[in-house]
């Protein structure tokens, strides 16, 4: 997980994130990492177009996007 956080932070590239909040609701986010702390990450949420904070413990999955928007098959 940390290597994908670093990939997003250093390259300012989006990553996919699946998160569970304190109420047990699961959400999918496309984010760019802004800051990494021990307990949480500060991200820019591309869908909501705002900065948000997510607890590391609530992050279920992190991945590079399967396909970039507008990308053509090679």
Q: Express each pLDDT in 31-65 by its tens digit.
A: 999 999 999 999 999 999 999 999 999 999 999 99
- Tokens 């591309």 correspond to 46
* Token pair recorded at residue 66: 């399967």
Indicate whether 74 pLDDT > 60.
no
pLDDT for 68: 59
3-state secondary structure of 30: strand
For residues 64 and 74, the answer to whether their CB atoms sit within 8 Å is no
Q: How confident is the model at residue 72 (pLDDT cuts 50, 70, 90)?
A: low
Return all residues near 47 (Cβ < 8 A) that are at least 6 apart.
29, 30
Q: What is the pTM of this model?
A: 0.83
For residues 71 and 13, the answer to whether their CB atoms sit within 8 Å is no
Average model confidence (pLDDT) across the chain: 91
């Amino acid at each position: 997980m940390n290597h994908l956080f670093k990939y997003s932070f250093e390259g300012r590239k989006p990553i996919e994130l699946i998160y569970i909040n304190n109420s047990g609701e699961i959400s999918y986010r496309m984010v760019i990492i802004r800051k990494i702390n021990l307990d949480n990450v500060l991200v820019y949420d591309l869908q909501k177009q705002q900065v948000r904070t997510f607890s590391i413990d609530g992050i279920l999955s992190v991945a590079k996007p399967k396909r970039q928007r507008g990308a053509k098959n090679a």
